[in-house]
Amino acid sequence: MDFTYDEEQQALREAVRGLVGKTYADFENRRRTVAEDPGFDESLWRRLAEMGILGLPFREEYGGSGAGPVEVGIVAHEMGRVLAPEPYLTSVVLAGGIVAAAGTDEQRSEVLGALSEGTSVPAFAHAEPGTRWTSTASAVTASSSGDAWTLTGVKEPVPHGVRADLLVVSAALPDGGTGLFLVDPSDSGVAREGYRTHDGGRAARVALTDAPAVPLGPAGADQSGAIAAVLDIARVMACNEAAGAMEVALDTTTSYLTSRKQFGVTLNTFQALNFRAADMYVSLELAQSVTLWATMVIAAGRPEEMSEAASRAALQVSRAGRHIGQEAIQLHGGIGMTAEYSIGSYTSRLTALDHLLGDGDHHVRLLAAAVGDHDEVDPLP
């Protein structure tokens, strides 16, 4: 039982902080970056590739560096601290993770190699309007004629769906189950409409009309199990990112309380405000503890434990993210409402992360359904 990073992991954290943290140290730089398409810094993305950060989770034979969830979590945490808009979570962890989990060796080499090099930005087109964080698809359906497959239906919102040069799409299979497919978005059967999201990100409506598709992994196989497993890993990484964001949101708030003056004194003169900041710290520490634990559970790799751990982390982080995000704005007062000042964007990003892969109530529902299966929760294996 050890909650500390080893020297290599600390070096990784310093390296990512040195690059990403430095790039967005000035919040104005992030504002400029998210104002222009594609909504992130392409040159920073290339530098992340050169540093080996994009290939971190993938095995060396596929062009990655074969690091584990702890390392990926460190990167996510650092991205979260500065609200880095680069699609690390959605393209590397999620889209890349799906290909790593379900693809053939050839597909893994091709897709993950290009992703690791920074030459390709894939997107996982999975969410469908009306569904809530399932591991299956229904609105997009797959048809086959001989060896040829086509997809029809709408995926939305697809993170960075317009910038993506490769779509990894989930679709209902003709004989039941959910399959996975690679789709070239430049095909005429693919119509994409992109837009900005509230947190400065990008998403798209992706309409598929008999779009040619290549099965990811064995044709016709139900991949919902693989999807569920990757979603769980991504949930824990989203928690790591949120933990970084919450950490800075609290720091920013306490700095504000010690510098902003009203009634002739700094705000930290008022106990009502300090106590609320203290409660934010409690929320942060508890969420950070469960996040680190869940990251270690993922690293230990026992599938039967991963899903529950992901739900537990997601629940704790959802509650904490709302608490910290809401209080951070309130304790700032009017300035917290402005786009120019950073704090509101932290709340916006935490809200997006909360709803990307399943919010707190979603996970309570899952955990509550299983609450009678055990006497107590023992975090140690």
Instruction: Indicate whether 224 belongs to the interface with another protein (CB under 8 A).
Output: no
With vertex at residue 72, the alpha carbon angle to CA 381 and CA 326, rounded to the nearest 5 degrees, is 90
Alpha carbon of residue 316 to chain centroid: 16
Instruction: Indicate whether 239 belongs to the interface with another protein (CB under 8 A).
Output: no
Query: Of 109, 289, 307, 351, which lies in the binding site for another protein, with binding defined by CB under 8 A?
Result: 289
- Burial classification of residue 226, based on how many CB atoms lie within 10 Å of its CB (0-12 exposed, 13-18 middle, 19 or more buried): buried
User: What are the Cα distances from residue 60, in Å, to 73, 116, 230, 302?
Assistant: 19, 10, 19, 22
How far apart are CB 238 and another protein at their closest, in Å? 17
C-alpha R_g of the chain: 21
**Largest interatomic CA distance in the chain:** 78
Q: Which stretch binds another protein (CB under 8 A): 79-87, 123-131, 292-300, 340-348?
A: 292-300
Instruction: Indicate whether 297 belongs to the interface with another protein (CB under 8 A).
Output: yes
How far apart are CB 340 and another protein at their closest, in Å? 25
Quote the CA–CA distance of 281 and 321 in Å, as a whole number.
11
Quote the CA–CA distance of 296 and 302 in Å, as a whole number.
11
Quote the CA–CA distance of 310 and 308 in Å, as a whole number.
5
Query: Of 295, 342, 345, 348, which lies in the binding site for another protein, with binding defined by CB under 8 A?
Result: 295
Instruction: Indicate whether 346 belongs to the interface with another protein (CB under 8 A).
Output: no
Instruction: Indicate whether 16 belongs to the interface with another protein (CB under 8 A).
Output: no
Residue numbers 257-286 binding another protein by CB under 8 A: 257-258, 268, 271, 274-275, 277-279, 281-282, 285-286
Which is nearer to another protein, 148 or 278 (by Cβ)?
A: 278
Beta pairing partners, 195: 203
Residue identified by tokens 């139900």 is: 222
How far apart are CB 368 and another protein at their closest, in Å? 4
**Contact letters (x/-) for another protein, 312-331, by CB under 8 A?**
x--xx---------------
Q: Give the footprint of another protein on this chain (CB under 8 A).
A: 1-6, 9, 70, 250, 254, 257-258, 268, 271, 274-275, 277-279, 281-282, 285-287, 289-290, 292-293, 295-297, 299-300, 312, 315-316, 364-365, 367-369, 371-372, 375-377, 379-381
